[in-house]
Structure 1
Amino acid sequence: MNPQSRPNALLAMESPQLAADLFSARARAELDRVVAVHETVLTPDLPSVPASTADTEILITGWGAPRLDETMLSHWPRLRAVVHAAGSVKRLVTPAVWERGIRVSSAAGANAVPVAEYTLATILLSARDVLRSASDFQRTQDMLAARPRGDVGAFDITVGVIGASRIGRRVLELLQPFDIECLLVDPSLSSVEAAELGAELVTLPELLTRSRVVTIHAPALPETYRMIGRDELALMADGATLINTARGSLLDTDALVDELRTDRLRAVLDVTDPEPLPPGHPLFSLPGATLTPHIAGSIGNELRRIGDHVVAEVQRFVRTGELADEVTSPDLARIA
């Protein structure tokens, strides 16, 4: 490609370090070959846009990017596409994006991989009661007393997946080699479609009643707000584990705290409501709760998978005008 014909692209991210973490040397060289890249720091708290970026045609955004409202978009009259180097674009886009005919792409598919892997690992550890056993062992230093109790193990258990999102589908795929029965709740699927994913389509009450482990992968929508509340938690079997890597708003935190106080259920939460939790919140100390600091998504070298996806999307758009993982305005009503 003639360097003089390369479209102008702008890396709009919270820090130069994020761009360095996203793109390997090979990926960055490929990106520079396809587009002329300008880097700047643009955050909601620092929305100053250099005048030198006015000819931007492709905006590559990441975590901490500013919201693309009419004022922000006015700085880039030639902007044709936004390629988001992260999952959800809901906090990023506004109606002004669609009104201007700007195309939008998300790396949600690439980011789904580590979330599904985290979920698989957590399912297997939970089935063996490893997390509780490790906590008890650290606290008591008594090997025999800390060993898992009851009917533990991952053989012939039932796992319930709430939501056939990208992540939910990937979790079902990863579970296929194991001796595990999978249940699925998703109002958009038929029983045949669920079976093709390796799962039995059931109602939410049935899933909660039958599953040893329940994992949430539904989008945060008005109709899914606190979809797992007091009544739903009461349906779960004693000793069952609830995993949430989706959004904290899908789960009634107060109801979960009350259940965990009875030592009846276990919960592994990578997201909470509120997030972050205030210091001293009961979830930090309840023995049935395992909290991780929102790390199920891409971290460390996994960010390079997102970087590779972004480079491929930019290449595709420059060469064909198409996007493999395009997000349209109607999509926002059903995605995370």
Structure 2
Amino acid sequence: MLNGLYVMDPNRFDDVYGPQARAAIERHLAIPSPPLTADRLTPDVLADLQVLVTGWGAPRLDAELLAAAPKLSLVLYGAGSIRPLVTPEMWARGVRVTSAAIANATPVAEFALSQILYALKHGWRYVLAARAAAAPAARGPEIGAYGAVVGLVSLGATGLATARLLAHHDLVVQAYDPYADPAQAGRLGVRLVGLAELFATSDVVSLHAPLTPETRGIVGAGLLESMKPDATLINTARGGLVDEAALVDVLGRRTDLFAVLDVTDPEPPVTGSPLFTMPNIVVTPHVAGSLGHERRRHGQAMADELARYVAGEPLLYEITESGLARRA
């Protein structure tokens, strides 16, 4: 039996580590206390710690914490990006870390799929038009889903998950990702194209890229202007990918275009932002990712990783220092 601790935001603990996941984890870990917050980690609490079970609100694994936890060998991170907790000292110590980021791809992909199909039916357009007029909206030339072209920006975890869901529909799927595996894309029926071609030829463009210095503002006026008539932009990734001033300008002039923004920059938008009042933009409050008990996928993924660790098997979701650097 290994020694473990639950350490994370108490408001999210039960959402992530539900009864099933906790039972599976506690078959392998002796956990001497209720869940703790990072500010309650004292040297005596950390002295025998071997496995840290965490998520949102995780402690940063700096030199001071590592010195107090000499036996720590594994971190189970039931959330997405591990950047808030990792440090050079952690990597140097050889502490292994595995993340539930892949589990979070599922609800994002489900949300993206729903918005892609809804966009091809002009769903939001009719809702907003009817509300503004207090009368039935006039029907327009809907695209429909059959044979429509959907463009995905990035084939990372969420992009791939979205592509897998789209494969069940009669759509043409293309993607821009300079790091994508062409063979993997081919198996999913996804055609790899350049970014300019993707925007110019897609009926719906769905963003799934990470936010890096290279991708910040990547969707600017030129790409937006190039979009097909009646096309829709969906962003469930990061608000900073889109130049929002350009978005407001272009969609203010091209009222045939539409945008569904689940993320913005800043987030939430400032009070009075035109994003809330423009007739061809809808903003949702960052709901695409795991919510409520959807987060229990994260906890179950970490319970499964712990079972593999104890059995001496490879970890499916382990993140290495070199792998994290490549993602950046």
Task: Settle same-fold status: TM greater than 0.5.
Answer: yes
The counterpart of 1:92, out of the listed 85, 93, 97, is 85
Secondary structure of the 1:178 match is coil
Deviation of 1:93 (Å): 1.3
Moved more, 256-265 or 283-292: 256-265
Aligned positions, number: 325
Partner of residue 48, structure 2: 55
Q: Deviations over 1:178-227 (max 9, x none)?
A: 11101111112354442222111111000000001001111222222211
Secondary structure of the 1:224 match is coil
Distance 1:193 1:78 in 2: 39
Distance 2:138 2:123 in 1: 9
Distance 1:234 1:66 in 2: 44
8 Å CA contact 1:158–1:181 kept in 2: the answer is yes
Partner of residue 141, structure 1: 134
Partner of residue 3, structure 1: none
Secondary structure of the 2:65 match is helix
Distance 1:48 1:210 in 2: 54
8 Å CA contact 2:206–2:235 kept in 1: the answer is yes
8 Å CA contact 1:27–1:308 kept in 2: the answer is yes
Partner of residue 115, structure 2: 122
The percentage of counterpart residues that share the same residue type is 42
TM-score by length of 1: 0.91
Deviation of 1:158 (Å): 0.3
Q: For residues 64 and 281 of structure 1, do their structure 2 counterparts lie closer, same or farther at Cα, with a shift above 3 Å needed?
A: farther
Partner of residue 220, structure 2: 229
Distance 1:105 1:142 in 2: 52
| Paired letter, 1:153 | G
Deviation of 1:66 (Å): 2.9
Partner of residue 32, structure 1: 26
Listed as ranges, the matches of 1:189-268 within 5 Å are: 189=180, 191-262=182-253, 263-268=255-260
Secondary structure of the 1:41 match is coil
The counterpart of 1:318, out of the listed 305, 310, 314, is 310
Deviation of 1:322 (Å): 3.7
Partner of residue 276, structure 1: 268
Partner of residue 70, structure 1: 63
| Paired letter, 1:152 | I
TM-score by length of 2: 0.93
Distance 1:314 1:121 in 2: 33
Distance 2:24 2:244 in 1: 45
8 Å CA contact 1:85–1:107 kept in 2: the answer is yes
Deviation of 1:321 (Å): 6.1
Partner of residue 16, structure 2: 22
Secondary structure of the 2:4 match is strand
Structure 1 residues without counterparts, runs of 5 or longer: 1-5
Secondary structure of the 2:318 match is coil
Listed as ranges, the matches of 1:278-293 within 5 Å are: 278-293=270-285
8 Å CA contact 1:87–1:111 kept in 2: the answer is yes
